[in-house]
Amino acid sequence: MSSREEILNGLADAVVGGKQDLAVELANKAIEEGIDAYEAIMQGCAHGMSIVSDKYDKREMFVPHIMMSARAMNSAVEVLQPHVNVESVEDPGHVVMGVAFGDIHDIGINLVNSLLAAAGFNVHHLGRDVSPEQFIEAAKENNADVIGVSALMTTSMLGMKDVVKMAKEDVPGVKIMIGGGPVSQHFCDEIGADAYAENAPEAIKAVKRLVAERRA
Amino acid sequence: MDEMSHAERIKKVIDLEEPDMVPSFGPCSWGANMAWDNVNRVGKPEKDVYFPKFVHNPDIYADAWVKALDRFGFDFVHVLVGSNVLALPMGCKEAEPPWGIPQVVGEAIEKVEDWKNLKFPNMDTDGKIPVQLSAIRLLDKELHERRGDDVFITGTVIAPLTLAGFLLGVEPLMFAMIEKPDETKELVEFCADAGIECAKAQIDAGADHIFTPDPTASGDLIPADFYEQLAFPAAKRQSEAIRKYKDKYSHHYHICGNTADRLEILAGVGMSVLSLDNQVSLKEAKERIGDKVCLCGNVNPADTLFMGTPEKVEAESKQCIADAGPGGGFILWSGCDFPLDCPLENVERFYEMPKKYGKYPLQV
């Protein structure tokens, strides 16, 4: 096995295992060895996180270990990101993310954001308790392809309706993805959102699809 | 079979025997819709009584529950003046939206080992605990004393691991579980102690039953072995303390998420009633642990109670009774708290279900 493969596989394994120090060490090694930083992010970090996602789906991994993985991944991406040759990367899409108004539960969305960033998307995270107006403003400012809204409470999920309505009027064409505990495909259809993501990996797939649709 | 009183019915099912009819557990925060004239404004933005007023005024709170009991005829009235009454006195910050359950927005400690600096709450003076206790006293006086109704008055204490998540923040708690398991256990045990004292104060005030929701121990968040090592010991100790202080009918534990991989562990908490998320099959739970603990649940709160039709509410409730009702040992409820804006007709239909499908011998 070449050193390049060893480093990238090692990086993916370090992310899966949630080994922050090892992930940073291997990210630095990748740079020293002249491995393209974008490739290291995609084939090391993002690949590791997609293994993590599959494991969460299969209930082989749960949130505490995913948090460790996300932290390891974030630290490695921090090392690699400054070395990415921006021009060589095809613009992968801009996503504005936030937790719905009146809701402060952000564990789920933070995981999704880590995965989206690892998959190469430009993520603009607005944090918790975000009003529909703030979503629309940020979508305009960042030329967003997708707005992602998360809610864990049945009370706050109602606000998603307003985001969809305002987006259709003010930023036509921008796709809306929704997710979170009480949200369902049924609710998504009812309020006219473009995608429902049941979990983090589904959210990544949905964003990929929505960006493609938006740009088609 | 002769009609039983609320308490007779509840005790029968907790003893894993057949009552006259499947008992039903009251909605929690949805009760705000019964305050003053709110019932004519369900789902509408303008209210007669907004949420902060509802949870700061024990007389309004208690009055709403008496009206709810008279209207729906469930077997438990539920007192919880917020999302929990312990986080604020222990150092968290809380926000109170006009129409929503008050939420913890700021944590009390930054590091798990700082639990030693946490304040042990004074149940007579701190935060909304006095409101919680006053509401229970008012309900005790009106329902138990004046009317001679033995309906179960349910107090609420947030379960130990979930309280720890409020105090430290859920994300830091997830890291702490892996990196500092010993300190995490200490924090969780401290939370159990605060909860036990809070439960005793509510029992002294007149509560028959203590509901301890444990959303952060959810089967969607932590693996079964973490549950067993970090959440279970404190939950078990708390359950024992509550039942020892009151009686074998007094502890109701609710857990969120898919917990099918740990049902036997859960039953080991020893609670009087175990209520399960709608992600868990009641049929399977009944088969696996129905001989150990009375089950409660689990109509889908979002898709069915909130967004579904009364017909859907009826079909799903009937199924729950068919799955878990045979032989007794079952209480009909939602899979989690009722969404605040559940339509009145759905709530009404839900509480008609025990009379329609839940009479023993069961016909479903």
- Under a CB-based contact definition with an 8 Å cutoff, are residues A187 and A177 in contact? no
**Sequential pLDDT tens for chain B (364 residues):** 569 999 999 999 999 999 999 999 999 999 999 999 999 999 998 999 999 999 999 999 999 999 999 999 999 999 999 888 999 999 999 989 898 888 888 899 999 999 999 999 999 999 999 999 999 999 999 999 999 999 999 999 999 999 999 999 998 999 999 999 999 999 999 999 999 999 999 999 999 999 999 999 999 899 999 999 999 999 999 999 999 999 999 999 999 999 999 999 999 999 999 999 999 999 999 999 999 999 999 999 988 998 899 999 999 999 999 999 999 999 999 998 898 899 999 999 999 999 999 999 999 8
Number of alpha carbons in the 13 Å side-chain half-sphere of residue B78: 26
| pLDDT-derived band at A8, boundaries 50, 70, 90 | very high
Quickly tell me which residue has 């907790």 as its tokens.
B14
State the pLDDT at residue A2. Answer: 65
CA–CA separation, B207 and A205 (whole Å): 49
The gap from C-alpha B159 to its chain's centroid, in whole angstroms, comes to 10
Of residues B228 and A154, which shows the higher confidence score?
B228
pLDDT surpassing 60 at residue A1: no
Shortest Cα distance from B104 to chain A (angstroms)?
Answer: 8
CA–CA separation, A45 and A74 (whole Å): 8
Percent above pLDDT 70 for chain A: 95
pLDDT, tens digit (0-9, with 9 covering 90-100), for A65-107: 998 998 999 899 889 988 887 666 677 899 999 998 877 777 7
State the pLDDT at residue A85. Answer: 76
Residues 6 or more apart from B32 whose CB is under 8 A from it? B38, B49, B51, B54, B64, B340
CA–CA separation, A68 and A76 (whole Å): 12
State the pLDDT at residue A199. Answer: 79
Shortest Cα distance from A91 to chain B (angstroms)?
Answer: 31
Domains and CATH numbers, chain B: 6-357 (3.20.20.210)
Q: Answer whether the bond into residue B361 is a cis peptide, omega within 30°.
A: yes
Contacts of A154 in chain B (CB under 8 A): 301-302, 306, 339-341
State the pLDDT at residue A89. Answer: 65
The gap from C-alpha B31 to its chain's centroid, in whole angstroms, comes to 13
Partner B contacted by A68 (CB < 8 A) = yes
Q: Work out the average pLDDT over A166-178.
A: 95
Instruction: Record the tokens describing residue A211, joined without a space.
Output: 């960006």
- List the single range of A16-20, A44-48, B283-287 with lowest mean pLDDT: A44-48
State the pLDDT at residue A87. Answer: 66
The DSSP string of B208-260 is SEEEEEEGGG-TTTS-HHHIIIIIHHHHHHHHHHHHHHS-TT-EEEEE-S--G
CB atoms B105 and A155 under 8 Å? no
Domains and CATH numbers, chain A: 3-88 (1.10.1240.10), 94-215 (3.40.50.280)
Q: Which A residues in the span 135-194 are in contact with B, Cβ-Cβ below 8 Å?
A: 153-158, 182-184, 186-187, 190
Q: Work out the average pLDDT over A147-171.
A: 88
pLDDT, tens digit (0-9, with 9 covering 90-100), for A21-45: 999 999 999 999 999 998 898 889 8
- Under a CB-based contact definition with an 8 Å cutoff, are residues A16 and A56 in contact? no
State the pLDDT at residue A46. Answer: 84
> Shortest CB distance from B222 goes to which of A63, A102, A186?
A63
DSSP for residue B42: T
Structural element, H or E, at residue B156: strand B152-156
State the pLDDT at residue A155. Answer: 66
Interface probe with A: pick from B171, B184, B338, most Cβ of A within 10 Å: B171
